[in-house]
């Protein structure tokens, strides 16, 4: 092999390496998301985006201003440990000052009550009063000749007899 | 060494350096600004299995139906003392005895959620840096970077992660970190009627930690895996944890 030819090949190899490196750098700048690596091996903007997520549950204190009476009764009755939003659903949006409050509050009906008050193995009796089922509860009340049973049956809602805000 | 060999080695070295620079796992994460400022305490004996936490979590995060970021496990103790994990939907619709395998002597409820590990396996295995540790120390997931490979789902020792069928990306509880940084508790803690879940900031602001936690009697789930989970449990089934 002549000396000139060998030099040419070395130059060609070096050029190929340079082109490859430039291509890799170019590809990296195109593929790398913005703010990647600013704070660590991740997209730094992601932390900011996740932090900006609004709080949908506002907490029971935020209900007091408008629903003072319900809040006062609730706050010293049996259900005082249960947050408003545990039954009524998330109300952060509802409580915003700049929009009309949503009137359609979520109420799960009897099933909502039964999530806590259904008698199941392992649920501590001391912590929460429990019934086997709504039917069994009605039968028990009929046996006691409870005067409201007939009317309660026509409505068949727990809250007809047991106001959740007023329960002792 | 001749010229050809030199060029070959230089090319290999350059390619290696570029890969090391490109791979997310090889970049160094800066040390966190300080110790993780929050605590999360779970007191299983207080849990009544109402599922309010699971429903609140779904509403707060609009999770895919049937997938849950937090859940309640109900363990039945049969008359002969054998323990069996009872099937459920994670407690979202409460629990019912109808699905029990037979008569039970008693049962236990254990609320579960992401442990926000100090050495999170999900972050270690993520090939694209979508699972990451925020400057405050929270383990978060970047939905825009995630490619949905599911490695983190397999790596999590607590089965806390899942692929969101809507986006195909990984999803997990983050202790409602946006709320926590605003000074309000996570949605599940807010909804819990019995105080089985408690959350607060270390150092006296807000809720005080329960006595068992401040006295150092908190238990960790599966500590032998060395992920250093941060959720403290007051009591756990034998085999599930050690101090």
Residues B121-178: tens digit of each pLDDT: 999 999 999 999 999 999 999 999 999 999 999 999 999 999 999 999 999 999 999 9
CB interface of B with A, residues 138-197, below 8 Å: 140, 142, 144-145, 174, 176-179, 181-182, 184, 187, 190-191, 193-195
Q: How far apart are CA A32 and CA A30, in angstroms?
A: 6
Residues A10-69: tens digit of each pLDDT: 999 999 999 999 999 999 888 888 888 888 889 999 999 999 999 999 888 888 888 888
Residue B31: per-residue pLDDT: 61
Q: Is the pTM of this model over 0.90?
A: no
Contacts of B140 (CB under 8 A, 6+ apart): A46, A47, A50, B131, B132, B133, B134, B174, B177
Residue B48: per-residue pLDDT: 93
Q: How far apart are CA B86 and CA B90, in angstroms?
A: 10
Q: Rounded to the nearest 5°, which phi and psi values hold at A94?
A: -60, -35
**Closest CA relative to residue B187, chosen from B177, B197, B198, B176:** B176
Contacts of B134 (CB under 8 A, 6+ apart): A47, A50, B140, B177
Alpha-carbon distances of B52 from A73, A114, A138, A160, rounded to whole Å: 21, 12, 26, 22
Count of C-beta atoms within a 10 Å radius of residue B152: 27
Residue A33: per-residue pLDDT: 87
Complex confidence, ipTM: 0.82
Residue A75: per-residue pLDDT: 80
Q: How far apart are CA A112 and CA B187, in angstroms?
A: 18
Q: What is the mean pLDDT of chain A?
A: 83
Nearest CA in chain A to B144: A46
Q: Does A37 touch chain B if contact means CB atoms closer than 8 Å? A: yes
Residue B26: per-residue pLDDT: 52
Q: DSSP secondary-structure letter at A154?
A: H
Tell whether the model's pLDDT for residue A104 goes beyond 70: no
- Environment class of B36 (CB within 10 Å of its CB; exposed 0-12, middle 13-18, buried 19+): middle
B80 CA to centre of own chain: 33
Q: Does A53 touch chain B if contact means CB atoms closer than 8 Å? A: yes
Q: Does A86 touch chain B if contact means CB atoms closer than 8 Å? A: yes
CA atoms within 13 A on the CB side of B69: 27
> Sign of dihedral through CA atoms A58, A62, A67, A71?
positive
Residue B23: per-residue pLDDT: 61
Tell whether the model's pLDDT for residue B83 goes beyond 60: yes
CB interface of A with B, residues 138-167, below 8 Å: none
Q: Where would I find the H helices in chain B? A: 3-22, 52-61, 121-125, 151-155, 177-182, 187-191, 211-214
Q: Does B6 touch chain A if contact means CB atoms closer than 8 Å? A: no
β-bridge mates for residue B231, sequence order? B40
Among A123, A131, A134, A164, the strongest candidate for a mutation testing the B interface, having the largest count of B CBs within 10 A, is: A123
Q: How far apart are CA A63 and CA A59, in angstroms?
A: 8
Torsion of CA B107, B111, B115, B121, to 10 degrees: 60
Which pLDDT band holds residue A106 (cuts at 50, 70, 90)?
Answer: low
Say which of B51, B129, B195 has its CB closest to residue A115: B51
Q: How far apart are CA A44 and CA A51, in angstroms?
A: 12
Is B119 within 8 Å of B129 (Cβ atoms)? no
Q: How far apart are CA A33 and CA A23, in angstroms?
A: 17
The distance of B26 to chain A (nearest Cα, Å) reads: 8
Residue A153: per-residue pLDDT: 63
Torsion of CA B121, B125, B129, B134, to 10 degrees: 10
């Amino acid at each position: 092999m002549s000396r000139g030819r060998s030099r040419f090949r070395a130059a060609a190899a070096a050029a190929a390496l340079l082109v490859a490196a430039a291509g890799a750098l170019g590809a990296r700048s195109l593929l790398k998301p913005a703010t990647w690596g600013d704070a660590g091996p991740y997209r730094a903007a992601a932390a900011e985006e996740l932090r900006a997520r609004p709080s949908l549950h506002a907490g029971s204190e935020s209900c007091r201003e408008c629903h003072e009476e319900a809040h006062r009764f609730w706050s010293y009755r049996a259900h005082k440990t249960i947050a408003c939003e545990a039954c009524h659903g998330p109300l952060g949006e509802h409580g915003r000052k700049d929009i009309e409050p949503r009137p359609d509050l979520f109420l799960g009906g009897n099933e909502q009550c039964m999530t806590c008050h259904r008698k199941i193995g392992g649920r501590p009796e001391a912590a929460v009063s429990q019934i086997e089922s709504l039917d069994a509860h009605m039968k028990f009340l009929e046996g006691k000749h409870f005067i409201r049973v007939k009317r309660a049956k026509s409505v068949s809602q727990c809250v007809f007899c047991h106001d959740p805000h007023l329960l002792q | 060494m001749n010229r050809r060999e030199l060029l070959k080695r230089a090319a290999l070295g350059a390619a290696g350096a570029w890969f090391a620079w490109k791979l997310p796992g090889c970049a160094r994460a800066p040390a966190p600004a300080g110790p993780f400022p929050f605590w999360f305490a779970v007191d299983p004996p207080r849990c009544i299995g109402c599922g309010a936490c699971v429903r609140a979590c779904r509403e707060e995060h609009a999770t895919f139906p049937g997938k849950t970021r937090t859940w309640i496990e109900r363990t039945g103790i049969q008359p002969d003392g054998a323990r069996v994990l009872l099937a459920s939907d994670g407690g979202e619709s409460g629990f019912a005895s109808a699905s029990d395998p037979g008569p039970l002597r008693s049962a236990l409820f254990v609320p579960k959620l992401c442990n926000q590990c100090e050495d999170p396996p999900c972050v270690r295995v993520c090939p694209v840096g979508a699972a990451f540790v925020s400057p405050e120390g929270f383990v978060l997931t970047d939905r825009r970077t995630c490619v949905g490979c599911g490695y983190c789902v397999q790596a999590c020792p607590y089965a806390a992660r899942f692929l969101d069928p809507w986006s195909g990306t990984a999803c997990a509880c983050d202790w409602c970190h946006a709320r926590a940084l605003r000074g309000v508790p996570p949605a599940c803690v807010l909804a819990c009627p019995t105080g089985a879940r408690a959350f607060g900031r270390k150092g006296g602001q807000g809720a005080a930690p329960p006595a068992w936690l401040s006295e150092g009697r908190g238990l960790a789930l599966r500590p032998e895996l060395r992920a250093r989970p941060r959720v403290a449990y007051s009591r756990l089934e034998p085999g599930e944890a050690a101090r």
